[in-house]
Amino acid sequence: MTFLDMLRNAATQNNSMLCVGLDPEPTRFPTGMRGDPHKIYDFCAAIVDSTADVACAFKPQIAYFAAHGAEDQLERLMQHMRCNAPQVPVILDAKRGDIGSTAEQYAKEAFERYGADAVTLSPFMGFDSIEPYLAYHGKGAFLLCRTSNPGGDDLQNQRLASIEGQPLLYEHVARLAQGPWNRNGQLGLVVGATYPQEIERVRSIAPTLPLLIPGVGAQGGDAVATVRAGRRTNGPIIVNSSRAILYASGGDDFAAAARHEALRTRAVLQAACG
């Protein structure tokens, strides 16, 4: 099954636009696990089990594993998600971007080593840095377009005077992803919930691409404005929240609290559709 099929099925089955982000930070783990990087798998597996029927996707952020030399725990977590939440696609948040020969290795890492269904990529180095991921037919690739952080302005809002219509850089990325770069229909875009007006602009340029939208929860993005700006009948959105769900409680009830926060966020997103 392709990433898009999985996404559609999970969104329907779990009635959800919510992506649960897996950004495990041991210093924020509950008391019995706190500070112990060997507990990364246990912590994340408990979150997966408590939210598998609430999420339309999971998004592990690779840096939170690699920083602790915990890639083996990420491999185990990927297998755990395959077995315990097989209906929910996994977007590996790796934000890779390198020359083609190196990108081939990164693609192999994401799709063969970890078995991810989709990956996040930086488009900064151009199409040949994206192409190796598209060789994995059916897998998804989300290009950073208008990111949620304040510094996203620095480059993404620059005007490209040499291109007809003088688009902003993020608008040009959206146009490429909706058009010539999307050879096999695998591309999506990352746009931040902290900039709903830009989500709307991206949606007008890329009406059918799936949008991965982080920034609700800990970053304070407006969930309702996000849904209204981004969701279209043939243009799905995947709204990510990580810390607000993972660390909803610092106690032994962390998994139950995460579920509660995931249910609450899912409800807010659903209500915005009305």
Ligand X SMILES: O=C(O)c1cc(=O)[nH]c(=O)n1[C@@H]1O[C@H](COP(=O)(O)O)[C@@H](O)[C@H]1O
* Two tokens, residue 98: 């390198």
Cβ proximity to ligand X: between 181 and 274 the closer is 181
Which residue in the set 218, 225, 256, 263 belongs to the binding site for ligand X (CB under 6 A)? 218
Residue 174: count other Cβ atoms within 10 Å of its Cβ: 26
Binding residue for ligand X (CB under 6 A) from 37, 132, 188, 192?
192
CB 189 to ligand X: min, Å: 10
Single residue of 242, 254, 259, 262 touching ligand X by CB under 6 A: 242
Are 23 and 61 in contact, with CB atoms under 8 Å apart? yes
Cβ-contact 238, 255 below 8 angstroms: no
Interacting stretch for ligand X, rule CB under 6 A, among 73-81, 159-167, 172-180, 215-223? Answer: 215-223
Three-state DSSP class for residue 6: helix
Catalytic residue among 59, 95, 108, 139: 95
Beta strand 140-146 with 18-22 is: unpaired
Among the listed residues 193, 244, 236, 231, the one whose alpha carbon sits nearest the alpha carbon of residue 214? 193
Other beta carbons within 10 angstroms of residue 211's beta carbon come to 25
Q: How many CB atoms lie within 10 A of CB 28?
A: 16
23, 171, 198, 261: which one binds ligand X (CB under 6 A): 23
Q: Tell me the per-residue interface mask from 150 to 189 with ligand X, x by CB under 6 A, - otherwise.
A: ----------------------------------------
* Residues carrying an active site annotation: 95
Which stretches of the chain bind ligand X, using CB under 6 A?
A: 21, 23, 61, 93, 95, 120, 147-149, 190, 192, 214-215, 217-219, 240-243
